[in-house]
Amino acid sequence: MAVYPPQPTKEPPISARGPIAWIRHNLLSSPYNIAFTILGLAILYWTVPPFIKWAVIDAHFAGDSKSACTGGGACWVFIKEKLDMFLFGFYPHDQLWRPKSVFAAVLALGAFAKFVPGLHRLKLTLIVLFPVFAYLMLHGGHFGLSLVETSKWGGLLLTLVIASVGIVLSFPIGILLALGRQSKLPIIKSLSVFYIEFVRGVPLITVLFMASVVLPLFFPEGVNFDKLARALIGITFFEAAYVAENIRSGFQAIPKGQYEAADALGLSYWQKMGLVILPQAIKVTIPNLVGTFISLFKDTSLVMIIGLFDLLAMVNVTANDRDWLGMDTEGYVFVAFIFWIFTFSMSMYSKRLEKRLDTNNK
């Protein structure tokens, strides 16, 4: 028998820490790894410097017409001159203060919600009222504001309207569908399953065509149903099926014991789902949900095919201007950059949200 003295805690050896160890471990650990590292560096070398040369070094920023752009660099003058169209489409020029103040209101509301503590009820009220405000502002026809038909809305404005309405409305519908799919009532269950599987088996373009062509058939003749509204309905119901599937995968991560504990405490079905199951299911499925919303955001460009002019469609419009022919490249690069800013922010936000909601290791 023996008794052993306590051992001291030591730092790991130098060879296992620091940047050199990291490089050796991650970039140069095997011949394959070395080959891929070299290939990666080569690709970066061939693509990044020429792009920077085109987009920054040789680029033209000053001036107000195509003649300001000579030589090979990018002509950002084009973007500068057409910025209003990229942002707002055909929205009347003298009314642009309206969408601008809606954008400003979004930022103000966001800052208020984030930086001012407490006041939850006021915040909630403002957030709920915001869509009403935005609609009245953008559409007009009341309170002395001139009417601006939705067919005039375009560019980033339209993209954001479609994406946010689609996201906000598809979420509750998706939750209901997911609950329906879990339901013990056979009719509700099979209807939900049928709906979800049907929609997921159909491309968005088809849904948009159907919303645009088939939907009006359900309305009495003479009712001219707004094209944008049709697109919104189509996108919302399309997206809801994907949201439902995301949430269902979240349900599957919830142990049976959670349902049982809620039942045993006496919670009703809606209390159990709303207070116990859904918050957890949504939490585990946030990365998937955000992925779904990111693809929705990008898919909004498909509304082009039913004659709406979103951000991407504006590239064609502006580059077809006789004074700016051949500016497609600048247009696409700019639009790609805008899309990237939004999708990247969404994905960063989802990371932060996940961390904040993670109650496992706080």
Partner 1 sequence: MANETPTQTQAKAQETPQATHISKEDPKAVHPLGEPMIRLENVNKWYGDFHVLKNINLEVRKGEIVVVAGPSGSGKSTMIRCINRLEEYQEGSIKVKGIEVNNDVKNLKKVRANVAMVFQHFNLFPHLTILENLTLAPVWVYKKPKKEAIETAMHYLEKVNIAEQAHKYPNQLSGGQQQRVAIARALCKSPDIMLFDEPTSALDPEMIGEVLDVMVKLAEEGKTMITVTHEMGFARKVADRVIFMDAGQIVEENDPETFFHHPESERLQLFLKQILNH
Q: Work out which of 5, 13, 117, 257 binds partner 1, going by CB under 8 A.
A: 257
253 near partner 1, judged by CB under 8 A = no
Residue 360 contacts partner 1 per CB under 8 A: yes
Least distance (Å) between residue 287 CB and partner 1: 17
Q: Pick the stretch among 104-112, 121-129, 242-250, 253-261 that binds partner 1 (CB under 8 A).
A: 253-261
Q: Find the shortest distance in angstroms from Cβ 1 to partner 1.
A: 24
Cβ distance 292 to 301 under 8 Å?
no
- Would you count residue 276 as binding partner 1 (CB under 8 A)? yes
What does the angle CA 226 – CA 342 – CA 334 come to, to the nearest 5 degrees?
90
- Interface with partner 1, residue 183, by CB under 8 A: no
For residues 286-307, one letter each, b for 16 or more C-beta atoms within 10 angstroms of the residue's C-beta and e for the rest, the string is: bebbbbbbbebbebbbbbbebe
Q: Rounded to 5 degrees, what are φ and ψ at 67?
A: -65, -15
Q: Determine if 169 is a binding residue for partner 1 (CB under 8 A).
A: no
- How many chain residues touch partner 1 (CB under 8 A)? 23
Residue bearing tokens 């011949």: 31
Which of these segments, 42-50, 65-73, 168-176, 259-267, binds partner 1 (CB under 8 A)? 259-267
The answer to whether 163 and 99 are in contact (CB under 8 A) is no
Q: Give me the half-sphere count of Cα atoms (radius 13 Å) on the Cβ side of residue 166.
A: 31
Nearest approach, Cβ of residue 255 and partner 1 (Å): 8
Give the CA angle between residues 103, 105, 109 to the nearest 5°: 125
* Residue that the structure tokens 């050796």 belong to: 24
Give me the amino acid identity at 26: N
- Using CB under 8 A as the binding rule, whether residue 118 contacts partner 1 is answered as no
Stretch that binds partner 1, among 18-26, 115-123, 152-160, 274-282 (CB under 8 A): 274-282
- Burial label for 139, CB within 10 Å (0-12, 13-18, 19+), is middle
By the rule CB under 8 A, 70 interacts with partner 1: no
Applying CB under 8 A, among 29, 271, 320, 345 the residue interacting with partner 1 is 271
**Of the two residues 19 and 266, which places its CB atom closer to partner 1 in the complex?**
266
347 near partner 1, judged by CB under 8 A = no
* Non-local CB neighbours of 160 within 8 Å, separated by 6+ positions: none
**Position among 268, 316, 320, 345 found at the interface with partner 1 (CB under 8 A):** 268
What values do phi and psi take at 152, rounded to 5? -90, -15
The stretch near partner 1 (CB under 8 A) out of 59-67, 136-144, 156-164, 267-275 is 267-275
Stretch that binds partner 1, among 59-67, 142-150, 188-196, 271-279 (CB under 8 A): 271-279
120 near partner 1 (CB under 8 A) = no
Rg (CA), the chain: 26
By CB under 8 A, tell whether 275 contacts partner 1: yes
Per CB under 8 A, does 359 bind partner 1?
Answer: yes
CA distance readout (Å), 285 to 148, 171, 362: 39, 13, 19
Rule CB under 8 A: is residue 286 a binding residue for partner 1?
no
Which CB, 10 or 352, lies closer to partner 1?
A: 352
- The angle formed by the CA atoms of residues 39, 45 and 47, to the nearest 5 degrees, is 105
To the nearest whole angstrom, how small is the minimum distance from the Cβ of residue 60 to partner 1? 54
User: How big, in percent rounded to 5, are the helix, strand and coil portions of the chain?
Assistant: 75, 0, 25
258 binds partner 1 (CB under 8 A): yes
Smallest distance, Å, CB 6 to partner 1? 20
Nearest one of 287, 295, 251, 290 to 171, comparing CA atoms: 290
**CA distance to 10, 24, 35, 119, 298, per residue, from 42 (Å):** 41, 19, 11, 54, 30
Nearer to partner 1, 30 or 359 (CB): 359
Examine residue 121 and tell whether it contacts partner 1 (CB under 8 A). Answer: no
* Chain contacts with partner 1 (rule: CB under 8 A): 255, 257-258, 260-268, 271, 275-276, 279-280, 283, 357, 359-362
